[in-house]
Amino acid sequence: MSSIELTPSQKTILNALINLHRETEDAVKGEDIAEEVDRNPGTIRNQMQSLKALQLVEGVPGPKGGYKPTATAYEALEIQQMDEPAAVPLQHEGEPVEDANVEEIDLSSVHHPELCRAEIHLQGSVRDFHEGDAVTVGPTPLSKLVVDGIVDGKDDTSNILILRIEGMKAPAGDPDH
């Protein structure tokens, strides 16, 4: 799979589009995206042209029209389309965390096994997590992956936990299904 390099503002706009689209399931108006990311609609329209050229966005004509993310958009942002974000359980020191949903698991350095880190993007605060805490994430809906790790750092503003991976389990079998 080829990875598409997006500028930070394209990522922001695409994220906004995906989130708004997830809420309504309808085409999203440029004005709504502009409001969401605090830019003017003209800027959004220009960005949408480039995102359309990358086939990340499709334009929907007509009065109910607007933009929709394509399947490629999710891949470009490496978002596993989780219909139900709460479907990924999270445990903190062995206790299930009720009010945090895992949005995304980014195994950024899996190709460096000695630096095995995972970024866990949460919906919900990471305030209660501290360095050295044990965290278990998973199983994920698609690959049934379970990640055990120790909190190595966190980004409070983006609600990201950095885990040092202690172990990963995925059920044996075809990873694509």
Per-residue pLDDT of the chain (177 residues; tens, 9 = 90+): 445 677 888 888 998 998 888 877 789 999 999 998 899 999 999 999 999 999 999 999 988 899 999 888 877 776 554 445 545 788 999 998 877 778 778 876 555 556 678 888 888 778 889 999 999 998 877 777 888 999 999 988 888 899 998 888 877 655 544
pTM of the model: 0.47
Query: Dihedral of the CA atoms 124, 133, 111, 113 (nearest 10)?
Result: -170
- The predicted structure's pLDDT at residue 34: 94
- The predicted structure's pLDDT at residue 177: 44
In the sheet where 90-92 sits, what is the strand order? 95-96, 90-92, 134-137, 146-155, 160-169, 117-123, 101-106
- The predicted structure's pLDDT at residue 110: 52
- The predicted structure's pLDDT at residue 44: 92
Which DSSP category does 28 fall into? B
Q: Where are the domains of the chain?
A: 8-76, 85-169
Q: Decide yes or no: CATH 1.10.10.10 for domain 8-76.
A: yes
Report the alpha-carbon distance of residue 142 to residue 177 in Å, rounded: 7
Bridge partners, 68 (sequence order): 58
- The predicted structure's pLDDT at residue 4: 65
- The predicted structure's pLDDT at residue 139: 84
